[in-house]
A = this chain, B = another copy of it.
């Protein structure tokens, strides 16, 4: 009655039964790609070596935060056991060896049954299971010629990946830490059909929970009560213990704070009369995640100003989804969204002047200061945004690549009335001249709108995985009436 059975991860009831052959396919994809692109360079008896996340304790206490597996390791092995190593042979079979820690006898008293190597082999569909302290001998017995490890910089965080640490590894073997990183990151960019099914499940859970929250919302509730409803819904009904990122439950002016909800701004405000809600929340299952934002008035009825801003963002969202297909540049999609939003603000009279001048003077980033979207997968801001054909970073974009079938990416145009950005723009005569202050004043306290969907790029266009959300103004007003 565990979360694992041979070859599957499943939490029972109506939750998704994930075939762990997903990860065997990932290993095979990775090895095929390396062998086909680098066959001259890769010698026989070469191995990929990955290290799992380590169990940690908070500060100097014995509090263990709930373990989250390192994502490259998880992608490759599907295992959420800490303190492991994993080996993949660069051979046709992509021979896989999971190295698990040897647990002390008291583990059985405190943590649970100590399972056998055979048990883990059957669950995770690897060719062999060893104890970590047998790993070096295995590699020696195979006359390992080169060990490939990950070294590289995450382009969202700027952090560098920590290479596997094992005593004597670098002294004993020839270690190459340059080849693997771009290859495994690129493999993670293109989702297999089985990966898409898991992401689709995370999205379905999140869509269901967002709708549940929209039904519960009312003036006078605390923002955190909406977070609590979301978390309970995805866990209780969908088995999602974690969310991919801290819930952003921003109401009123807080909806203009892009990453509201962290410990310093803990969703603690009361939803006010005419409060506008921007709820950005995504459930995680089998370590994959959704990332969805719904924006709506707490009362279920849009004010004229809310209607203008919401429609501006929705126009952008629709235009982007109509244009998304393989071969399209994500930078162009961002510019398209920005143009839609600026055009709508012009039409509403908040901005004045010529659309091209607004764009040239970067008025777009006053209202839409973040990128249009990012890859989505095991990480909320998934890896690979600056590989291959990418352009240099522009507009805070987390990727500047050309779309390919199999990518899963968020589209999240937004329009916000952010005090300090407006003040900045208004204090500079070059940009101030584009604003109609009388009109702007009507909007300065409404906060912001973001419409974020999770989208699979298909061979011929795209599939909006979160399409079951009420998105038009009419749909939202009708849905919230119920």
Contact = CB atoms under 8 A, between A and B. Distances in A.
A interface majority secondary structure: loop
Interface in A114-169: 153-154, 156-157, 159-162
A222 to B, nearest CB: 6
Contact of A1 (B227, B235, B269): B269
Contacts of A269: 1-2
B112 A268 contact: no
Nearest to A236: B228
Contact of A161 (B13, B60, B225): B60
Interface in A57-83: 57-68, 70-71, 80-82
Given A111-B257, A257-B110, A257-B111, A71 B59 contact: yes
Contact of A225 (B62, B156, B236, B266): B236
Interface in A27-58: 53, 57-58
A429 interface: no
A404 interface: no
A268 B109 contact: no
Interface stretch (A301-309, A338-346, A416-424, A461-469): A416-424
Contacts of A110: 257-259
Nearest to A53: B59
A67 B235 contact: no
Contact-size category for A: 35 or more
Contact of A268 (B12, B65, B70): B12
Which of A13, A60, A239, A381 has the most CB atoms of chain B within a 10 A radius of its CB?
Answer: A60
Contacts of A3: 266, 268
A235 B246 contact: no
A372 B66 CA distance: 25
A360 interface: no
B112 A265 contact: yes
A109 B156 contact: no
A270 B1 contact: yes
B231 A265 contact: no
Contacts of A170: none
A108 B419 contact: yes
A64 B379 CA distance: 11
B257 A12 contact: no
B241 A235 contact: no
A71 B81 CA distance: 28
Chain A to chain B: the 4 pairs with minimum beta-carbon distance, closest first = A232-B232, A62-B157, A67-B263, A228-B235
